[in-house]
Amino acid sequence: MTEQFALGKENGKIEVMFTSKQIESRIKEMAEVISKDYRHKNPLLIAVLKGAVIFLSDLIRYMKEPVEIDFIAVSSYGASTKSSGVVRILKDLDQSVQGKDIIIVEDIVDTGLTMKYLVENIGSRRPDSLKVVTLLDKPDRRKVEFKPDYCGFTIPDRFVVGYGLDFNEKYRQLSDLCILNN
């Protein structure tokens, strides 16, 4: 824990929203539900880089059905593309999703623009089924209608870091999910 104080806990810049223990027990519950829904299936879980990496790696270790994993990276839209919701793929999947049961794994749904784009994009590649699991949802910030199929925690409109989520690439390694105060 000592090193983590150097990352902002010492001056109150960050405060804990969910402890690693709370996250772990919620992820166990989610994995149980998802495993039931995908019984006798072999879903391909697609994590959105980079924020969802830690969530993916914890989630699959509690899943009972055999799973496969892949990764996709998208650009965050700049100011000019914010309203249009144009998202660019920076790293595409290594494999075809055709005929597969796909679960997109996201860290947080905010405006909904990224997930709306990815569901349309991956959905057009003819998977057998397509669902979205997100650790966090900030519905107050939505710009387009989007409802994740599975959600860990619904949170208020606060900027959060840790457990894979970053601010300018910092704080991803915190094991708790923290609110970043400015």
Q: Which one is catalytic: 58, 101, 107, 110?
A: 110
Confirm or reject binding of residue 51 to Mg ion (CB under 5 A).
yes
CB of 79 to ligand IMP, least distance (A): 13
Span from 8-16, 42-50, 64-72, 153-161 in contact with Mg ion (CB under 5 A): 42-50
Enumerate binding residues for ligand IMP (CB under 6 A).
51, 76, 106-115, 159-161, 165
Confirm or reject binding of residue 148 to Mg ion (CB under 5 A).
no
**Which CB atom, from 51 or from 148, has the smaller least distance to Mg ion?**
51
CB of 108 to ligand IMP, least distance (A): 5
**Which CB atom, from 60 or from 160, has the smaller least distance to ligand IMP?**
160
DSSP code string of the chain: -HHHHTTTGGGTSEEEEE-HHHHHHHHHHHHHHHHHHTTT---EEEEEETTTHHHHHHHHHT--S--EEEEEEEPPP-GGGTTTT---EEE--SS--TT-EEEEEEEEESSSHHHHHHHHHHHTT--SEEEEEEEEE-GGG-SS----SEEEEE--S--EEBTTB-BTTBSTT-SSEEEE--
**Which CB atom, from 60 or from 161, has the smaller least distance to ligand IMP?**
161
Q: Please state whether beta strands 150-154 and 160-161 pair in parallel, antiparallel, or not at all (unpaired).
A: unpaired
Q: Has 110 been annotated as catalytic?
A: yes
CB of 66 to Mg ion, least distance (A): 26
Span from 23-31, 104-112, 152-160, 169-177 in contact with Mg ion (CB under 5 A): 104-112
Distance of CA 52 to the CA centre of its chain: 4
CB of 73 to ligand IMP, least distance (A): 11
**Which CB atom, from 54 or from 160, has the smaller least distance to ligand IMP?**
160
Question: Which residues contact Mg ion by CB under 5 A?
Answer: 48, 51, 107
